[in-house]
Every structure is written in structure tokens, then in C-alpha cells.
Amino acid sequence: MPEDIVVFSLGVVTKELFEELLLLVSHGRGEAALRVSRTLYECVVFAAYVSKHPDSCGAFMNTLFASWANILRSIPERAKLLPEMHSDFSERFPKYAQGKQVPLDWNDDRTTFNMAADVGVSGEFHSLAFNFTSAYVHPSASFLLGRMTYSADNRFVFGAKRDDSSWQIALRIAHDLIITSMRLRKRYSDSVELRLNLEFCEKEFVQIWGYAPESSR
């Protein structure tokens, strides 16, 4: 089934992002880890959504064309440089033909929040894993203010804080999401070993953070 490939591929990316996040945390790069955790969150939500709604698989894959349409849209004389792509995108996307940004919406729910709610993610966790982490992705006022502090001798300092607690938040989000990813994999490729590992990870999560992971509630 095509959706199996999408779910599996997103699961592999989730594992790779988790390993990338651990590397950043081990080097004290908490803010960078938060940025990775946001991407990790979207991978898990998208995988869960496609798994639950297999008919959305084709629309998800078609975002490839929308992404390239937006890339091509900013290139001067694109019609001369890449006439076949320009013609194809003009037919596919009226907004592209008008010189406008092509939305990447690929389902009726449209937003990540609605997709997350559809697959059982709580609003509280979405707020942490998506809305909070977004402040470390986009250069907003919140992004800037979060990098301001004072040194030990009371001097104003601007820059990444290597000793802040952001790494803990990133690790908590990622730990929760990797368990959700394991549960999703269990639907497609169940085994005694996977079930035992999942049970161990869930118990370990409770011991570390003091509450049950999102997918176990």
C-alpha cells in the first residue's frame, strides 16, 4: 500500500531526527534541539494522519509539486529556463500562474493542529511541541527576547544560552514522540521484541518525567 511507504519513511526520518536531537542536547544546544523537535513532531503527526486516512497519501505526496512550484516562482524568466515545469505548474496551480504562493495544504483538516487532534494528540502537547517550539524556528520578537540575558558581572549579553533548560523541554518532547512513533510502527510490523521494548520505554518515560507519554493516555 502506498501509505505504508509514507508512514515507514516518516518513521525512519523520525528516528534520524531523534538521534540528531540527542547530539545537539549532548553539546548543550537546547534551542537548536527545540527546532529539531518541531520537525520531529510534524513527522509523527503526518505519519499518524496518513496511517489513519490512507486516502490522504496521494495528496501528501503531491506537496512535492507545490514545493517546487514555490521554488520556481521566485526564479526570473522561469518560463524560458524551465518551460516544461513552468507549463505543468501553471496548469496544476492557478495561484502559481498568477505569480502567487502555492499553499501546501494536503487535506481537508488543513492545519497541523487539526490533524494532531484527529489522531488523538492533546491540545496541551500540541501547544508545547508545535506552538512553543515555533518561537525558536521563526525570528520573531519572542525568538530575540529569549536570547537576551545578563552575565555574572551584570553585563547585558545577547546570544544562545548554553546553560538554559530548553534542552530538557526538547528532550521531553522528543522522548514522547519517539514512543508514539514506536506505537505506530507496531501497527504495521508487530513483534514480541518491539512490544517488550515499547513497554520498557513507556515505563522509563514515567520514571524520568513523572507522567505517562502522550500516546499511552
The set of cell numbers assigned to 204 is 522509563
Residue 31's pLDDT is what? Answer: 87
Residue 162's pLDDT is what? Answer: 52
The set of cell numbers assigned to 151 is 552575565
Going by C-alpha positions, the residue among 96, 14, 1 that lies closest to residue 58 is 1
- Which residues of the chain have a pLDDT value below 70? 1, 107-110, 159-164
Full-model pTM: 0.85
The set of cell numbers assigned to 53 is 486516512
Residue 149's pLDDT is what? Answer: 76
Residue 166's pLDDT is what? Answer: 87
- Measured CA to CA, the distance from residue 121 to residue 131 in angstroms comes to 14
Going by C-alpha positions, the residue among 179, 167, 130 that lies closest to residue 33 is 167
Going by C-alpha positions, the residue among 65, 67, 66, 57 that lies closest to residue 6 is 57
**Residue 13, Cβ neighbours under 10 Å: how many?**
17
Residue 48's pLDDT is what? Answer: 95
CB 47 within 8 A of CB 11: yes
33 Cβ contact list (under 8 Å, min separation 6)? 21, 24, 25, 166, 167, 170, 171, 174
Phi, psi for 120 (deg, rounded to 5): 95, 10
Residue 177's pLDDT is what? Answer: 96
Phi, psi for 208 (deg, rounded to 5): -80, -45
Rg (CA), the chain: 20
- Measured CA to CA, the distance from residue 132 to residue 128 in angstroms comes to 5
Report how far apart the first and last C-alpha atoms of the chain are (Å, whole number): 29
